[in-house]
């Protein structure tokens, strides 16, 4: 339809579309349409609004053609590893105790089947389509911030207008922790996407976090203070998660800076 759209125009249309879907479908089918809306908007942009989806270059741009395998271990450490550490911390503080539920194995298997699909449905839009078209225009760091802001806004109808997500605890505090954590995730996932050149690394990061906190929180610990543990300290976006994710992102940014400083030297010595 519009084969020569700029990256800024593509980004703007994507953002408008995904936020409109979120606002109008948050309560439909338990939020399923909202959950896959980044994927739906990516397909719409790739095959209908533009012609990018009909060429390999279009898919290369959004990071689909590279697996980024060497980044998978650090990705799991920075996501699933951080979740495990946050629950270890709440146990150490006496707010919870470790206890393996009878169905823990089956739950983990279920998460490993559904989790990657849902993570892909989001990340193909956030770190695949949107970040890839924003970064050449505004630079990588600002693209992580903009994607983070859109990501927060996209979640808000699901949080505010449905009974499915972050319904417990003080609403203001929960939203503050959620917003801070999502921005930290956006920077972490964004750095991983940039450094690896692969959207699959971002998918793994998203899945690693979601699966770890869901499985550990429901099958490996017990607590008589669930709001404190799951909303304020650990869980999806508790304080310890925010701090651990921010630290992981900071370490990767330091490594990114060092790699950037080494590149000119390598170019000179190799030339």
Amino acid 264: pLDDT: 61
pTM: 0.94
pLDDT tens-digit profile, the chain (271 residues) = 787 899 999 999 999 999 999 999 999 999 999 999 999 999 999 999 999 999 999 999 999 999 999 999 999 999 999 999 999 999 999 999 999 999 999 999 999 999 999 999 999 999 999 999 999 999 999 999 999 999 999 999 999 999 999 999 999 999 999 999 999 999 999 999 999 999 999 999 999 999 999 999 999 999 999 999 999 999 999 999 999 999 999 999 999 999 888 876 444 334 3
Domain ranges within the chain, ordered by starting residue: 7-259
CA–CA distance, 261 with 238 (Å, rounded to integer): 35
Burial class (CB in 10 A: 0-12, 13-18, 19+), 151: buried
CA 168, CA 145: separation in Å to the nearest integer?
Answer: 27
């Amino acid at each position: 339809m519009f084969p020569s759209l700029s990256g800024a125009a593509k980004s703007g249309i994507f953002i408008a579309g995904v936020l409109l879907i979120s606002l109008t479908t948050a309560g439909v089918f338990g939020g399923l349409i909202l959950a896959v809306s980044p994927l739906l908007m990516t397909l719409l942009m790739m095959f209908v609004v533009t012609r990018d989806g009909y060429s390999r270059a279009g898919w290369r741009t959004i990071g689909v053609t590279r697996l980024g395998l060497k980044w998978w271990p650090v990705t799991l450490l920075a996501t699933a590893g951080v979740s495990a550490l946050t629950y270890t911390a709440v146990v150490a503080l006496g707010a919870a105790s470790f206890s393996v539920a009878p169905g823990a194995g089956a739950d983990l298997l279920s998460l490993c089947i559904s989790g990657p699909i849902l993570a892909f449905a989001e990340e193909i839009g956030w770190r695949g389509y949107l970040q890839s078209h924003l970064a050449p225009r505004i630079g990588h760091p600002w693209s992580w911030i903009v994607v983070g802001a859109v990501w927060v806004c996209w979640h808000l109808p699901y949080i505010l207008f449905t009974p499915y997500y972050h319904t417990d605890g003080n609403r203001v505090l929960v939203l503050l922790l959620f917003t801070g954590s999502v921005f930290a995730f956006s920077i972490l996932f964004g750095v991983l996407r940039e450094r690896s050149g692969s959207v699959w690394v971002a998918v793994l990061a998203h899945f690693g976090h979601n699966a770890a906190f869901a499985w550990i929180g429901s099958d490996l610990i017990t607590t008589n203070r669930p709001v404190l543990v799951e909303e304020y300290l650990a869980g999806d976006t508790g304080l310890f998660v925010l701090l651990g994710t921010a630290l992981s992102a900071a370490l990767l940014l330091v490594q990114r800076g060092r790699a950037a400083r080494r590149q000119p030297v390598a170019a000179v010595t190799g030339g």
